[in-house]
Structures are given as structure tokens and as C-alpha cells.
Amino acid sequence: MPTFDSRLLEGVEVLAAVAAARSFGGAGEALGMSQSGVSRSIARLEARVGVRLFERTTRSVRLTDEGRRYWEQVNPLLAALEEATRAAGGGVQAIRGRLRVNIDPFFSRLVVGPQLSGFLDRHPELEVELLASDELGDMVADGFDLAFRFGHPKSSSLVARKLLDARVLTVASPDYLARHGRPSHPRELASGRHQCIQFRDPATGRPFPWEFHRRRSKLVVEARGALTVNEAGTHRSVCLAGFGIAQLLGFAVDELIAREELVQLFPDWADERFPLMAYYPSRLHVPAKTRALVDFVAGLVR
């Protein structure tokens, strides 16, 4: 029978705490250990693994590239070990414990938040920490189990599951159109006669390009406007107030269009899609609590 060094498991637990707290002192508080004890545990683990796991400065602690790769491999194994232990005692794979989630703020406020109480009522042993953020960041280093973000996934070791292809709609309020006229073609937005509300891409720091798709055709327009925003709720509210034309995701404006508070422009050029993705660290031994929340959100957007 292979032997197992229990100190290795202890070291991985300390690794998790340091990665979440980004400091040895914070990890020590979470684990009930001294800062020196945390430091010794990490040093032993680094000696066992044979790589430096953390870059340490006087102000911060962060995972090295090797440390991140190691943590991405062992994190799902720890979650699986925890669930296996609980399942052995309870006879089932229970949805319980703590789930730390990074989520798009507007999607959280408009879609997930209003329905979350029903999900938590069904799983009374589950604690969800829902943290709204404009960016995905580093899931592993930030200690997140799961993330929900809009946008096309970039190359990474994270697992990305598409939950929705959100429609991108070009809209304006009836008041704006009464004052400025209704453009008949997307190219008119480059004329300077219309106010186009720009939305900043957090990945580039520049406004998203104004694209219009019709089946296989794609048109990019240099839309002009005096206002740039970086928050989707403000984007929608400014458009709703009649300031200008905006490109917004369908789930955020469908009801407003139905109530005639906003008007969809260029319906023949409305085939652009923007995906909603669920991200988690590994396909291996995905915890039941993670699967449950992903399936719940998938059901909401379906």
C-alpha cells in the first residue's frame, strides 16, 4: 500500500489559505496559526514539490507561475476529497459548504440576484459568496470557485462553458428619436448627427467597436458620441433617459422594448452575439455545489 505524508495535505491547505488571503498573516488568522508557522509550512511544501510557490515582497504575496499551475491541479482534488468524505458520512453527494463566485455586476443585479433566494432555499447547507466585479482577474489566486462573465474566452487553463449567446441590440428611447430622428441604416451613426453612447472594454481600456451583423455580413461603424461609460446599468439608464443611442445586451432591454420605453433600431442588422461563460478551475472532480449553481444559472438564461 502506498504511504501518504499527512504533512503534504496540511501544506496544501495552507497554500489555499495564503492564495486566498494574499498574505501569510491573513492565512494564519484564517487557520488559527502563527505567521511563522504558515511560513514554515509553505517552505516545507516548496521543498517537497521542488519549486517556489509564492513571490514574497514586503507588501504582497502572490503565486508564481509554477505555484499557480500546481494549485490549479490540486484544488479540484481537495474539493473532491472533501465531498468524498462528506458523501461517505451522508450516503449522498451533498450540495453544501462555501462557494465563492466572481460575477458580472449587471448580470448579477438583473438576472441572478432576484432568483437566488430560491436556489439557496433548496440547498440550506450551502453558503454562497457572490462578488460582483468588472473583470475576471486571476480566479485561482483570488480564491474563486466559479465565475460568470460575458465575452469570448481567452486562452487559459480554466474550463469555460457557454451558457448563453446574448443578442446585441442597438436601441434608443422614443424621446431621443423624436428629437433627432430615427436612423435608417447603421452607417448614419458615423455622420455626427447622432449621440452614440460608448461602452469601455475592461480588457483593452478602449470603447467596444460598433459592429452590426446580418447573417454572414459584418459592418463596423465609427459611431460618434460625447459619453463613454464602463458600467452596464449606467449605460442602460442614460440611453433610457434619452441621451443617445446604445448597444445593449438583449436580456437587459427586451422588457423595455416590449413596454415601448426603448426602440430597437436596425432589426435587419441584429445578428451579433456576445456569450455568457461559466468558468471554473478544472474539469476533474467538479464539486456538486459548483455544478448546481452553474445549472441553476443556465436554467435562468435558457
pLDDT tens, per residue, the chain with 302 residues: 455 566 667 788 888 888 888 888 888 888 888 888 888 888 888 888 888 988 887 777 888 888 888 888 887 777 777 766 665 544 346 788 899 999 999 999 999 999 999 999 999 999 999 999 888 888 877 889 999 999 888 867 788 999 999 999 999 999 999 999 999 999 999 998 999 999 999 888 899 999 999 999 999 999 999 999 999 999 999 999 999 999 999 999 999 999 999 999 999 999 999 999 999 887 666 888 999 999 999 999 98
Q: Find the helix or strand (DSSP H, E) in which 144 lies.
A: none
Which domains can be identified in the chain, with CATH numbers?
Answer: 164-275 (3.40.190.290)
Question: Can you say whether the dihedral through the CA atoms of 250, 254, 255, 259 is positive or negative?
Answer: positive
Burial class (CB within 10 angstroms; exposed 0-12, middle 13-18, buried 19+) of 93: middle
Question: Can you give the pLDDT at residue 3?
Answer: 54
Side-chain-side CA neighbours of residue 276 (13 Å)? 25
Question: Which distant-in-sequence residues (6+ apart) come within 8 Å of 279 by Cβ?
Answer: 136, 139, 146, 147, 148, 149, 153, 158, 159, 160, 161
Q: What is the spatial distance between Cα 234 and Cα 279, in angstroms, rounded to a whole number?
A: 26
267-289 confidence digits (pLDDT tens):
999 999 999 999 988 766 688 89
Question: Can you give the pLDDT at residue 6?
Answer: 62
Question: Can you give the pLDDT at residue 92?
Answer: 40
Q: What is the dihedral of CA 150, 156, 160, 164, to 10 degrees?
A: 30
Closest CA to 224 of 185, 263, 198: 198
Q: Look-up: residue for cell 472533501?
A: 82
Q: Look-up: residue for cell 462578488?
A: 131
201-236 confidence digits (pLDDT tens):
988 889 999 999 999 999 999 999 999 999 999 999
Closest CA to 294 of 281, 282, 277: 277
**Alpha helices, H only, the chain:** 6-21, 24-31, 35-49, 65-90, 105-107, 116-122, 139-142, 174-180, 232-240, 250-258, 288-301
Question: Can you give the pLDDT at residue 91?
Answer: 34
